[in-house]
Amino acid sequence: MQPAASMGYDRAITVFSPDGRLFQVEYAREAVKRGTTTVGIKYGKGVALVVDKRIVSPLVDPRSLEKIYQVDEHIGCATSGLVADARVLVDRARLEAQINRLTYNESIQTKILAKKICDFKQQYTQYGGVRPFGTALLIGGMDEEESYLYETDPSGALMSYKATTIGAGRDEAIDVLEKEYKNDMGKDDAIKLAMRSLRAGREEELTADSVEIAIIEGGKFRKFDSDETNRYITEITES
């Protein structure tokens, strides 16, 4: 008997295989697994996002590689997978945030934004002539005093986490998070744990140029500069 994929079930997004699978969505997930390791972690007063930028050549300007984006003043997201697909989703998220602000005169809630992005991604699994987005997003934000962290899947599925990771090296990074995560962690401990899990998922040592860090704390998104990033790298290396 021929494998299901060779019988044409993977040729269109609208065709289910006999066992209920959409192969194009599964291929999109494989694109995410080949992306850079991305970690999100909640702590007492906020959310931290840490990304391996994976610089493939010394000729590349590290500043041109962006994997963490500000969506609204209180929401940020980190990506893994196809960079161009991620850019489209980030633009969509920013648009939804501004529409909400203009319509209701208030900032959008993190969960509502995550659901809107997942609804948008799900549409690309349902119609002929399109393909799923080959990227996953970790969306972190703060609504009043509460912090949130969501993972969006290429299928449009949504899941809330205390700490999670996507991309290459996910299994190794998850092992570190599951063993060491604590609900009452402070900012420094959370960032160091995220970086240790990031290091577990990659073969090379961490450097300030290859790592991107951002936090959402006090209702404000802030991305770290190279000096702050290097300080955390030095501390976890020495420890």
Residues catalogued as catalytic: 36
Residue among 75, 74, 49, 40 at smallest CA distance from 181: 40
Collapsing DSSP to helix, strand or coil, 116 comes out as helix
Rounded-to-integer distance, Cα 31 and Cα 194, Å: 22
Partners of residue 215 on adjacent β-strands: 48, 222
Sheet containing 135-143: give its strands across.
Answer: 68-72, 75-81, 135-143, 146-152, 158-160
- CB contact at 8 A, 100 and 112: yes
In the structure encoding, which two tokens stand for residue 21, read together?
A: 């699978």
